[in-house]
Amino acid sequence: MREGTLVRWTTITLSAIGLTVGVAAVLGGRQEPPEPPLARRASINPYLRGVAALGILEAQGRNIAASAPEPGLVTDVFVDVGDTLAADAPLFKLDSRTLESELIRARAAVDVARAELQRAKDLPRPEDIPPLEASVAVAEAVLADREEQLALNEDALRRGGATSREVSLSRYNRDAAAAELARARAELAKAKAGAWAPDLAIRQAELDRTQAEVSALEARIARLTVRAPKAVTVLSRDIEPGEYAVADPNRPAMIIGDLSTLHVRAQVDEEDIALVREGAQAMARTRGAIVQDIGLEIIRIEPFARRKVDITGANAERVDTRVIDVVFRVVDKPSTPLFPGQAVDVFINAEDVEPTPVSGS
């Protein structure tokens, strides 16, 4: 009996010791792990009341997508990434040999039309007049002879030496000679008058048409050389000589832009746009290993709400919302370089915008 009691108390004592050791072990293992430092500081809105938006850096006046005007083989690429170009500088050229062959034929047609017009203007030819004048002289002589014959026959008829039929035949011959003289004189007058005005107008119109064809072909050939619309820098190039270019604005051959002043295009949520005012203080903040603040100045608020297309990937981000573009000018560049297309966080001060009270129902 006494031995059983000893065993029971020994078991209870060992259980209590085990429980105490377990509790102590658990309590000792519940130490808070050290909080690791942030890789970079959080992008916090610096204004007490402000609007935050996603911003994309772009060249002054937007990034320009230089596409091929029509599908074709690329024969020359005149620039490379980073080149600074003057206005109207060539970027790349498409194959124009087919149009150039048509231009040769069109220019030959112009020469023919110009020669035809000049030939009409040079009428009459000097050697054409003397034969016509001789024809008129012969016709005049024949008419004089026929009139003389008619006079003799009429006199003979009065004296009974000729018949009325002979007189009628002489009169017919006289009239025929007079008609031939009139025709010869008309031919001479026509030759001396030169080309007919409507004929000259037709030949002039033909010359104008052929010259217009030449101008149209020259314009099409010039169009195949894509040029810079203004002073720009080549931002990207996605084309090489020998490639086949497609006329697709979604696949531009080059991206160019004016980097003299950088702009930021911020997508402001339609629910926050009422807090944005012209002239409001604003700033942007870069992302990445080195965070830099950028001074901004509002240029304009574009009056069109569009579907959101740039997604940041945040968990709370809504993709069915509409945004309004607010364009800023970079007025205070950071020490690190900025690149068109780079995403930045934009913050707009709205502390001076009075909130609108909600009326009760």
**Max intra-chain CA distance, the chain:** 204
Say if residues 291 and 321 touch (Cβ distance below 8 Å).
Answer: no
Could you tell me which of 72, 5, 336 has the C-alpha nearest to residue 221? Answer: 72
Say if residues 265 and 56 touch (Cβ distance below 8 Å).
Answer: yes
Taken in order 79, 81, 84, 85, is the CA torsion positive or negative? positive
- Per-residue pLDDT at 356: 57
What's the number of CA atoms in the CB half-sphere (13 Å) around residue 338?
28
DSSP string, 100-153: HHHHHHHHHHHHHHHHHHHHHHTPSPGGGHHHHHHHHHHHHHHHHHHHHHHHHH
Tell me the two tokens of residue 303.
């009056």
Write out the H or E segment, with its range, that includes residue 155.
Answer: helix 129-159
Tell me the two tokens of residue 146.
């026929």
Each residue's pLDDT, cut to its tens digit, for the chain (361 residues) gives 556 676 676 777 777 777 777 766 666 666 666 666 655 666 677 888 889 999 999 999 899 999 999 999 999 999 999 999 999 999 999 999 999 999 999 999 999 999 999 988 888 888 888 888 888 899 888 889 888 888 888 888 788 777 788 888 888 998 998 999 899 888 888 878 778 889 889 999 999 999 999 999 999 999 999 999 999 999 999 999 999 999 888 889 999 999 999 999 999 999 889 889 888 999 999 988 788 899 999 999 999 998 876 655 554 555 667 899 999 999 988 888 899 999 999 999 988 766 555 454 4
Taken in order 230, 235, 239, 241, is the CA torsion positive or negative? positive
Could you tell me which of 348, 70, 350, 5 has the C-alpha nearest to residue 226? Answer: 70
Specify which residues 268 forms β-bridges with.
324
Say if residues 244 and 31 touch (Cβ distance below 8 Å).
Answer: no
Cis status, amide bond into 36, omega within 30 of 0: no
Tell me the two tokens of residue 334.
């950071």
Contacts of 227 (CB under 8 A, 6+ apart): 88, 89, 90, 91
Q: First-to-last CA distance in the chain?
A: 85
Q: How far apart are CA 339 and CA 253, in angstroms?
A: 19
DSSP string, 14-60: HHHHHHHHHHHHHHHH-PPPPPPPPSS------SSSEEEEEEEEEEE
Q: How far apart are CA 347 and CA 349, in angstroms?
A: 7
Instruction: Give the strand order in the sheet containing 72-77.
Output: 225-227, 90-94, 72-77, 244-245
- Per-residue pLDDT at 351: 82
What is the SS3 assignment for 162-214? CCHHHHHHHHHHHHHHHHHHHHHHHHHHHHHHCCCHHHHHHHHHHHHHHHHHH
Give the distance from CA 116 to its chain's centroid.
Answer: 40
